[in-house]
């Protein structure tokens, strides 16, 4: 029988964590903590599959806790409970905690159950993929001289960049020393580039409407799951960012005007994430399934649907 999924709920209100334990204890192994520091101490002794944290807690905010959790246990699925008005927390959760899902407070029980179930399924697949990877590495290295073990394969580093011409050229020049850079001005052009080149990271700008932004980036996530997206925006909207992390799974967010050093760090982290996905059997299987379905009419329909967005990348 499979080991039950372990979940840690963190909230400074004791009545809330008691309620959450009652709701989920029949299906999962549930742990609770009343602060970020208490959660970290618990995690040192008891690794869990999922951490669900409130944002506004004294001492350590939720996105700060999830950032620590990411460093301690990178395979843990992380969820943040926050209000749409908390834009700083949302940006921090994207860039520091790499949050898998957001839930708005006050949460609805049905929605919470659905998100936790989705996270549990994702955590189980993570667990299985990790086990398979360990077995694969053990098989590959069995009987070999470890000093001769080849390094992980690396992808050609191509970066598809966004923006109006002068901004795009400025960004391309910024990364020419680090990456082989390709620029695109429309979503359809970007999709063609992605189909023809080994792209590691996409940098995209926010579109004129929320619907367009969500649709384009969700399509990119579905068709190229190995390629992390860094979103650039001048005036971010908290509701849009929540949609983009929940639906499009954007990896990093950068606000204009951008600090070159911080932006370089964001791109570097995204490229490392690309290589992590290349080494993840579950992600590779997902990418293969998409690639098998991509030729012919499927690819044509993707480009046709996105061609109406004329100034995207």
Indicate whether 25 and 109 sit together in one domain: yes
Structural domain of 214: 158-306
Quick: pLDDT tens for 76-117: 999 998 876 677 778 877 887 688 888 888 888 898 999 999
- Residue 85 belongs to a domain with what CATH number? 3.40.50.2300
Within-domain flag for 245: yes
The dihedral through the CA atoms of 219, 223, 228, 230 has a sign that is negative
Residue 12 has pLDDT above 70, yes or no: yes
Within-domain flag for 244: yes
Indicate whether 201 and 286 sit together in one domain: yes
Whole-structure pTM value: 0.71
Within-domain flag for 113: yes
The Cα angle at residue 24 between residues 117 and 9, in degrees rounded to 5: 90
Residue 165 has pLDDT above 60, yes or no: no
The candidate with the shortest Cα–Cα distance to 161, out of 204, 118, 121, is 204
Indicate whether 237 and 301 sit together in one domain: yes
Within-domain flag for 255: yes
Residue 235 confidence class, pLDDT cut points 50, 70, 90: confident
The overall average pLDDT reported for the chain is 77
Quick: pLDDT tens for 256-269: 776 777 788 888 88
Asked if residue 255 lies in contact with residue 233, where contact means CB atoms within 8 angstroms, the answer is yes
Q: pLDDT at position 171, please? A: 63
Q: pLDDT at position 43, please? A: 95
Within-domain flag for 183: yes
Q: pLDDT at position 1, please? A: 38
Please list the helix, strand and coil fractions of the chain in percent, rounded to the nearest 5, in that order.
55, 15, 30
Residue 135 confidence class, pLDDT cut points 50, 70, 90: very low
Strand partners, 252: 230
* Averaged pLDDT for residues 144-148: 42
Residue 166 has pLDDT above 60, yes or no: no
């Amino acid at each position: 029988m499979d080991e039950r999924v372990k979940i840690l709920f963190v909230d400074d209100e004791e009545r809330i964590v008691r309620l959450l334990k009652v709701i989920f204890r029949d299906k999962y192994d549930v742990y609770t903590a009343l602060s970020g520091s208490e959660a970290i101490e618990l995690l040192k002794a008891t690794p869990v599959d999922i951490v669900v944290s409130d944002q506004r807690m004294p001492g350590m905010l939720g996105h700060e806790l999830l950032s620590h959790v990411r460093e301690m246990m990178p395979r843990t699925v992380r969820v943040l409970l926050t209000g749409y008005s908390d834009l700083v927390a949302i940006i921090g959760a994207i860039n520091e905690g790499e949050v898998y899902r957001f839930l708005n407070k006050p949460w609805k029980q049905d929605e919470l159950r659905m998100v936790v179930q989705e996270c549990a399924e994702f955590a189980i697949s993570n667990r299985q993929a990790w086990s398979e990877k360990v077995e694969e590495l053990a098989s590959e290295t069995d009987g070999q001289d470890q000093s001769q073990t080849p390094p992980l394969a690396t992808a050609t580093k191509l970066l598809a960049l966004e923006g109006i011409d002068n901004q795009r050229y400025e960004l391309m020049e910024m990364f020419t020393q680090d990456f082989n850079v390709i620029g695109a001005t429309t979503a359809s052009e970007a999709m063609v580039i992605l189909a023809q080149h080994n792209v590691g990271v996409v940098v995209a700008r926010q579109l004129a409407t929320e619907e367009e932004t969500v649709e384009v980036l969700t399509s990119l996530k579905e068709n190229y799951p190995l390629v992390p997206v860094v979103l650039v925006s001048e005036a971010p909207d908290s509701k849009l960012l929540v949609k983009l992390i929940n639906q499009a799974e954007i990896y990093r967010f950068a606000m204009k005007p951008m600090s070159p050093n911080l932006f370089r760090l964001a791109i570097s982290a995204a490229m490392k994430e690309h290589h992590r996905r290349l080494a993840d059997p579950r992600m590779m299987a997902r990418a293969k399934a998409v690639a098998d379905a991509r030729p012919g009419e499927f690819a044509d329909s993707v480009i046709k649907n996105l061609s109406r967005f004329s100034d995207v990348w």
